[in-house]
Amino acid sequence: MANSGTKSRDVGIASAASESARLDLWLWAARFFKTRALAKKAIEGGKVEVNQVAGKPSKPVHVGDRLAIARGEERFEVDVAALGDQRGSAAQVQSLYRETEASRNARAEAAERRRLERHGYAKPPTKPDKRARRLIIALGDIDAM
């Protein structure tokens, strides 16, 4: 066989023969986490649910499952549309899942709320000097009482 020298960059989408994929592998392939180790840590920490049940890293994921994923301040609720075992580009792996409309709206509202919370804060032009630091520490102690 002659090799044309080009490599296929298709996402490894599982065929109908293999109807499930490991949860940690699918989350990594769908680019929710940078490494499988981070995906496993999030799953074990209770940040990922499969069909409203806490997941385990080796839990099989099937097409049609609903995943609730917490990553930092972001919360995703997605339906598994396809199974994948290889990490591809962000544009390619978006075919692996469909985010629910409610999840998309909630994330947009949370981003807007964070933006508005930052709006009223003005960063001081310089670092506090020694006297100002002592006053800040003293004021902090008042709150502890």
Q: How many CA atoms lie within 13 A of 104 on its CB side?
A: 7
> pLDDT confidence of 9, banded at 50, 70, 90?
very low
- Measure the CA–CA gap between 107 and 75, rounded to whole angstroms: 7
Q: State the alpha helices, DSSP H only, in 5-100.
A: 23-29, 36-44, 90-93
pLDDT tens for each residue of 51-106: 999 989 999 999 999 999 999 889 999 999 999 888 889 888 889 999 999 999 99
pLDDT of the residue at 88: 87
Tell whether pTM > 0.85.
Answer: no
